């Protein structure tokens, strides 16, 4: 995939994930599929906090779609924090039989988001409009 195409798809992915994080997480946790997206014991304060954090991230990912190259730190943070969060949840859900549904809900969703964003990130020497690689900041 060439650099321009990769950036177009990255911008689309940032918008899709941004919108999902803003409007999708809370309904999934509370109404649509709580077994796969919420954790026991249910705590509305925790759920509101985590939904608020992810909604905020979603707004910034949506805004980052305007210029992904200027927002690589945010995108990399999203990738790595999603991997860490999903990894911790996977271990916890694996040990707690009452949380196994999360292994099919929020855990793979975070891993998928991280993988897709990583795969679409510009690669070294793949920067559009230049013959030389752009320094990674």
All structural domains of the chain with their residue ranges? 3-120
pTM of structure: 0.86
What pLDDT is stored for residue 93 in this prediction? 93
* pLDDT for res 118: 97
**Residues 117 and 86 sit within 8 Å (Cβ to Cβ):** no
pLDDT of residue 20: 96
Give residue 127's pLDDT.
58
How wide is the angle at C-alpha 61 spanned by C-alphas 56 and 63, nearest 5°? 100
* pLDDT (0 to 100) of residue 114: 98
Mean pLDDT by 10 residues, the chain (137 residues): 93 98 93 89 89 97 97 98 97 91 94 98 70 46
């Amino acid at each position: 995939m060439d650099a321009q195409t990769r950036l177009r798809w990255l911008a689309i992915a940032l918008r899709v994930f941004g919108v999902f994080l803003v409007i999708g997480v809370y309904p999934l946790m509370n109404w649509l599929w709580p077994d796969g997206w919420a954790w026991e014991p249910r705590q509305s304060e925790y759920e509101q906090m985590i939904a608020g954090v992810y909604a905020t991230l979603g707004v910034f990912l949506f805004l980052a779609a305007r210029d992904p190259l200027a927002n690589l730190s945010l995108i990399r943070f999203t990738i790595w924090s999603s991997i860490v969060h999903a990894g911790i949840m996977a271990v916890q859900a694996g040990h707690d039989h009452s949380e196994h549904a999360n292994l099919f809900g929020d855990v793979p969703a975070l891993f998928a988001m991280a993988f897709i964003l990583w795969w679409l990130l510009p690669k070294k020497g793949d920067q559009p409009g230049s013959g030389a690689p752009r320094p990674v900041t």
